[in-house]
């Protein structure tokens, strides 16, 4: 008997579902970053607003990369529904704390997917996920460094203005 499932796709149902869930996570992240950009803009943090807008674009690119992969492998990529995007934040610092928490969550999700791919012996998807894991090193580093600026510079006086100036300069060199 022909293996019709394998002829259609090389993705198992489980991996396809996980990747589609990740598409949703990336889309959500992209929208949250956009909300952060708006908040920063409203509150006079122009550089951080640009930074978050750029981050939002990157998350969308990640989403599209996953989207393309699922379709290329014969799967069914699902355009995600994005809801519950916070539009208000407690403070300038809280914005960056939320950003870091978000990146940590994304890393956890990719670790989980990599684990499932490995267990399912789906090494093509496992290989594909490596790129995202590498990317997460940079994403977490930048988010953590940005938050550390609040301790290093301090928020008193012109502190927040200085932090806003330094945020776009954070680079991951390795």
Partner 1 sequence: MAKPACKNLEEIFRTPHGAVYQCNRANCFWLEFAGGISAFKASDFLHLKKQVEQIDVPEMVQNTARMADIVILNPFRSERCFVLTVTDVLNLRELLQGAKVMLDLNSMLYDCLHAMAV
**Does 2 engage in binding with partner 1 (CB under 8 A)?**
yes
**Does 88 engage in binding with partner 1 (CB under 8 A)?**
no
* Residue 77: CB minimum distance to partner 1, A: 12
- With contacts defined by CB under 8 A, name the span among 7-15, 28-36, 62-70, 89-97 that binds partner 1: 7-15
Binder of partner 1 out of 42, 76, 112, 134 (CB under 8 A) = 76
- Which token pair is 27? 């889309």
Q: Give start and end residues of each alpha helix (H) in the chain.
A: 4-8, 13-42, 46-72, 92-119, 123-153, 159-166
Of 47, 23, 134, nearest in space to 95 by CA? 47
Query: Is residue 157 exposed (0-12), middle (13-18) or buried (19+ Cβ within 10 Å)?
Result: exposed
**Does 3 engage in binding with partner 1 (CB under 8 A)?**
yes
**Does 81 engage in binding with partner 1 (CB under 8 A)?**
no
**Does 119 engage in binding with partner 1 (CB under 8 A)?**
no
* Residue 116: CB minimum distance to partner 1, A: 16
- With contacts defined by CB under 8 A, name the span among 2-10, 34-42, 111-119, 128-136 that binds partner 1: 2-10
Q: How far is CA 19 from CA 5, 48, 63, 100, in A?
A: 18, 30, 10, 22
Which residues make up the interface to partner 1 (CB under 8 A)? Answer: 1-9, 13, 76
């Amino acid at each position: 008997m022909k293996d019709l499932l394998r002829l259609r796709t090389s993705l198992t149902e489980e991996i396809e579902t996980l990747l589609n869930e990740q598409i949703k996570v990336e889309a959500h992240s992209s929208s949250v970053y956009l909300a952060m950009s708006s908040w920063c803009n409203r509150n006079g943090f122009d550089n951080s607003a640009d930074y978050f807008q750029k981050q939002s674009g990157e998350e969308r690119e990640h989403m599209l990369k996953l989207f393309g992969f699922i379709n290329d492998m014969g799967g069914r990529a699902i355009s995600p529904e994005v809801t519950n995007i916070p539009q208000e934040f407690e403070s300038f610092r809280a914005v960056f704390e939320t950003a870091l928490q978000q990146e940590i969550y994304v890393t956890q999700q990719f670790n989980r997917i990599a684990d499932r791919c490995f267990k399912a012996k789906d090494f093509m998807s496992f290989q594909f996920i490596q790129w995202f894991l590498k990317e997460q090193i940079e994403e977490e580093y930048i988010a953590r460094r940005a938050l550390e600026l609040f301790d290093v510079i301090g928020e008193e006086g012109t502190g927040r203005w200085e932090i806003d100036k330094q945020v776009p300069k954070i680079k991951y060199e390795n």
